[in-house]
Amino acid sequence: MAPKKSALIQLLQIALGVFFGVLVTVFAYQVRERIRGQKVMYGQWRKLNLILDQVERNYVDTIDFQGMTDAAVTAALAELDPHSVYMPPVEKQESDSQLAGNFDGIGIQFNVPNDTAIVLEVIPGGPSEKVGLLPGDRLLKVDDKVIAGVGFPQDSMVRRMKGPSGTKVTVTVKRGREEIPFHITRGKIPVHCVDASFMINDTTGYIRLSKFSRTTYTEYFEAVTRLVAQGMNHLIFDLRDNTGGYLDQAVLLANDFLDKGNMIVYMEGRRRARLEYSADGRGTMRILPLTILINEGTASASEIVAGAIQDNDRGVIVGRRSFGKGLVQEPIDFSDGSGIRLTVSRYYTPSGRCIQKPYDVYGSDIYDRYADGEVFSADSARLNKEDIHYTVGGREVYGGGGIMPDVYVPIDTTRASSLFVNCNRKASQMRFASWMFDTYTAKLREIDSFEAMDAFLRQVRLPDRFKEFIRTRDGITAPESEWAETLPYLEPQLNALVARYSKLGENAFYKYYLPIDETVKIAVSTPAFPRDL
């Protein structure tokens, strides 16, 4: 037995030797290939390193190394695609806060109708509400800096009022004839992405979504559940001018409408394997009639939702051709607070469409849509008729340049009367709304229902008040015939701007403005399933 056992041990030793020999050879090959790859990579970037080294050694003046590095990185990424970008620390922090669902600040929304910022909304529970700021307050100073009446940029106002939680800022406002300083301790402010949600009529609900932030699905679900409880059996989901955001939120939202197994989106890239997302069948709105509104400002994550609904023949898309962004960015953060957003893959709708438009049209695409007449007629749309795909129901859809709606709604140019143009040029409507708030401050602050707002608007006779306002303040007059022509679309705008100053906020603005929104009017009257078109 001993010789056999010895032979077996020798055989095992030989096998192990061969195994480890192969392993070492493979490892050595991988190391050699990695070193070779690094040498190739170093060789490709060597010129940049040599140039920077020569600048450091020989340049005549003191060098701003940070500025040069930022400029070099920005220029290098610009050679890739329009969405691969470098963000310095301040810019990155601003970008992150817009999508995070909250930011540090004082908790107000304002606009600047006439060189003075006016508070539109004081966010409930925020720092400004706690110290007593009110809608309609005029912002005069932030700390010792005068910001009213001096042409102070709006984005600079925002930066001065924002700051880390726990820090203090003094905001001086004008309320009536008084100037009041408010000492505010900044805190975490929620950023809402559902701009408005309400019932348009007894059966049709409306939700407007501005972006896909970390809280998007939660906000959407709360809104849609509330509308269903109010009797909604048709949802108009407004994604116009929604520039996108987080992919996972778009997937969660689309999942709520689709049956199990329906594909939502798939992605792949040179260094990224194909990754598919499909519905899990647990969505709560799978049978709810659905209409999605899009336009040339609808991009990225919002196009993923629209594409998934269209390709699965789950709802009807109404509006104009979307932006055309079919690229996925991955954030890469650096220790100094800066970072890059690097395009790592393309996404494809369920039918296989990549809706990314050509890079060389980015600077002129929207202008071209006007110049070519596309925004006025679907027949002028530039569609790639060679890149044909099919929905699950067999309808033709096209890749390369955004999502073409099922029902096209051109821009209405018939409303541009001279009276309307003159008022818009002087922002008369916004200034009038501010004046109405000053006149009826106490009353507007009490209104918390649409019934009460309807009664108030009838009582104050807005059109007559506006006619007198622009005559005395702006020197604008018009024949009665032009007033009659303009009033049907001017009065809803005035109603919306004034109602916004009540407790109803943005819901009131959209509720009163939608009657002159042609896309919404068509969406209400159009069947909500493609098979019925």
Active-site residue numbers?
Answer: 300, 311, 325
| DSSP per residue, 497-524 | HHHTTSTTHHHHHHHHHGGG-HHHHHHH
- Do the Cβ atoms of 306 and 407 come closer than 8 Å? no
- First-to-last alpha carbon distance for the chain, in angstroms, is 87
For the chain, the residue count is 533
| Residue 422 neighbours by CB under 8 Å, 6+ apart | 428, 474, 476
Q: How far is CA 122 from the centre of its chain?
A: 22
Phi, psi of 242 (to 5 degrees): -85, 110
Q: How far apart are the C-alpha atoms of 396 and 409, rounded to whole Å?
A: 19
**String of b and e for 118-138 (b: at least 16 CB within 10 Å)?**
bbbbbbeebbbbeeebebbbb
Q: What is the crossing angle of helices 418-425 and 428-439, to 10°?
A: 70
Integer-rounded Cα radius of gyration of the chain: 29
Phi, psi of 439 (to 5 degrees): -75, -35
**How would you classify the pairing of strands 316-319 and 290-294?**
parallel
**How would you classify the pairing of strands 339-348 and 85-87?**
antiparallel
- Residue position matching structure tokens 């220029």: 75
Q: Is residue 174 helix, strand or coil? A: strand
Q: How far apart are the C-alpha atoms of 292 and 130, rounded to whole Å?
A: 38
**How would you classify the pairing of strands 316-319 and 138-142?**
unpaired
Q: How far apart are the C-alpha atoms of 232 and 464, rounded to whole Å?
A: 36
Q: How far apart are the C-alpha atoms of 516 and 525, rounded to whole Å?
A: 14
Q: What token pair was written down for 30? A: 């991988």
- Do the Cβ atoms of 418 and 472 come closer than 8 Å? no
Q: How far is CA 392 from the centre of its chain?
A: 29
| Residue 398 neighbours by CB under 8 Å, 6+ apart | 353, 383, 384, 385, 387, 388, 389, 404
| Residue 247 neighbours by CB under 8 Å, 6+ apart | 212, 265, 301, 304, 328, 347
